[in-house]
Amino acid sequence: MSIPAEVLEALRPVKGLTLQPDAPLAGFTRFGIGGPADLVAETANPESFQEAVRICRSRRQTFSIIGEGSNLVVSDRGYRGVVLRYVARSLTAQGPRITADAGASLQELVDFSIAQGLQGLETLTGIPGSVGAAVYGNAGAYGHSISERVARVTFFDGEKVRSFSNAECQFDYRESFFKPHKDWMILRAELDLSAGDGDALRRQADQILRLRNEKFPPTMKCAGSIFKNLRLANLPEAAAAEVPREAVREGKVAAAFFLERVGAKGMRRGGIEVADYHANLIYNAGGGTAADLRAVIEELGLRVHQRFGIELEAEVQFLGEW
C-alpha cells in the first residue's frame, strides 16, 4: 500500500468510515476482475463521506468514487489511490415522490416503488447498479430512462452540498451533467412517480425481469450491453443506408446490429467471450483478465469503425493503471 501515513492518520478518526487496505477490487465489479486498490473507504454517513473527500483533496491524495461496479472495468494492476464508496441505502415515500439514497440498488428502488403502488420505474427492473450510478449514467430500458422521473438530485461537489433540478442535470441518452465530473458524488435523488396498480406493476416487472434474465443471466459476469446504441440521424450516410427500417427504434439503432456484421458473436480472448446469441454482450467466462476485456472492446470498436466509419462508445468505465 502506498497511501501516505498522514492520509491514513487523517482518515482513521472519521466517524463511520470503514477502511480496507489493499482491497481486491474484483469483488466490487460485475465482471469479477481487477487488481487491488491501495485503500477502499466506505460509509453510509454523508458527512463522513464529505470529510473523506476533503481529506484526500487537501493532501493531494489520488482518489476515485465508485458505486456497485456494474459498469466498471478495473485494471489487473489495480488502483494506486483511495477508492471511496457511499453506501447509504434509505428509501422513503411521501405521496408520489420517492427519495432514494445513492447507495441503494436500482432494483431496491424499483421494488419499493411497486410496493408503494407507484408507477414509472418498473421497466428498469433487473438493471444492476446503484441509484447514484443509474442517475449518473441515465440508466434505462424498454424505451424509458430514469431521467423521466428524476425531480431533483442532491450531490457533493468536493466543497459543498448542492442540488440540481432535472433540467440542470442535462440528461441525454445514457448521459448526464455528472459524467464529466467524476469527482462529484450523488448523495440522493428525488423521483416523481404516479399512482398505479401495484399488482399489475409487479406482474409487468416480473415479466421484464424474466426476459432480461434470459439475455443477461444474474450469474453471468458481465455489464449488460457494452456499447451504447446509436442515433440513426448521427450515422454516416453510407452506414445509415444499410440499416433496415425494422432495426430502428425510437430513432436509435442497436450497436449489436453493427457488431453482428463484423463477426462479434462468439469472439473470444482468454477467458473473455462475446455471447454467441448477442453481439453486444461481453462476459467473463472464467479466468478472464481486464487486459483481455479491454482488448476485446477495442478490437470490436476498431472493426466497426473500419467497416462502417462509426465510432462506438463503450458504456463501461475504466479504472486503474493500464
Choosing from 51, 69, 86, the residue where a domain stops is: 86
pLDDT tens digit sequence for 1-24: 689 999 999 999 999 999 999 999
Q: Is residue 212 part of a domain?
A: no
Catalytic residue among 225, 273, 294, 303: 225
Distance between CA 101 and CA 113 in Å, rounded?
14
Per-residue confidence (pLDDT) for residue 150, from 0 to 100 = 98
**By C-alpha distance, which of 119, 104, 256, 139 is closest to 201?**
119
Domains identified in the chain, total number: 3
Give me the mean pLDDT over the 228-256 stretch: 95
Domain final residue, candidates 86, 117, 150: 86
- Rg over alpha carbons for the chain, rounded to the nearest Å, is 20
C-alpha dihedral (18, 24, 28, 31), degrees to nearest 10 = 180
Give the CATH number of the domain where residue 260 resides.
3.90.78.10
What sign does the dihedral 74-75-78-82 (CA atoms) show? negative
Structure-derived torsion over alpha carbons of residues 35, 40, 43, 47, reported in degrees to the nearest 10: -130
Same domain, 68 and 110: no
The CA angle 231-123-252, to the nearest 5 degrees, is 10
The long-range contacts involving 215-218, CB below 8 angstroms and separated by at least 24 positions, are 215/278, 215/281, 216/126, 216/281
Last residue of some domain: 55, 86, 117?
Answer: 86
Q: Does 239 share its domain with 272?
A: yes
Measured CA to CA in angstroms, residue 187 lies from 54, 135, 218 at distances of: 16, 11, 27
Identify the burial level of 261 via C-beta atoms within 10 angstroms of its C-beta, where 0-12 means exposed, 13-18 middle and 19 or more buried: middle
φ and ψ at residue 294, rounded to 5 degrees: -65, -35
211 within a domain of the structure (yes/no): no
Confidence at 183, pLDDT banded by 50, 70, 90: confident
Same domain, yes or no: 184 and 248:
no
Residue 10 belongs to domain spanning: 5-86
Choosing from 174, 188, 294, 303, the catalytic residue is 174
The reply to whether 245 and 290 lie within a common domain is yes
Q: Walk across the sheet containing 248-249 and list its strands.
A: 230-231, 252-253, 248-249
**Are 103 and 74 within one domain?**
no
How does pLDDT run across 39-84, given as a tens digit for each residue?
999 999 999 999 999 999 999 999 999 999 999 999 999 999 999 9
Whether 115 and 71 share a structural domain: no
* pLDDT at 1 (0 to 100): 63
Mean pLDDT value of segment 129-148? 95
Q: Are residues 97 and 181 in the same domain?
A: yes
Query: Is residue 208 situated within a structural domain?
Result: no
23, β-bridge pairs = 37
Q: Which residue has the cell 444492476?
A: 128
Q: The cell 448521459 sits on which residue?
A: 175
315 and 222 within one domain: yes
Instruction: For 23-41, write each residue's pLDDT tens digit.
Output: 999 999 999 999 999 999 9
Q: Is there a single domain that holds both residue 103 and residue 47?
A: no
* Grid cell of 251 as nine digits: 430513432
User: In this structure, are 230 and 181 located in the same domain?
Assistant: no
Do residues 180 and 130 share a domain?
yes
Q: Any catalytic annotation for residue 175?
A: no
pTM for this model (two decimals): 0.92
CATH number at residue 104: 3.30.465.10
Is residue 133 located within the same domain as residue 65? no
In a domain, 224, yes or no: yes
Q: Has 315 been annotated as catalytic?
A: yes
- Active-site residue 12, yes or no? no
User: What pLDDT does residue 234 have?
Assistant: 95
Q: Which of 51, 68, 190, 315 is catalytic?
A: 315
- Is pLDDT above 80 for 159? yes
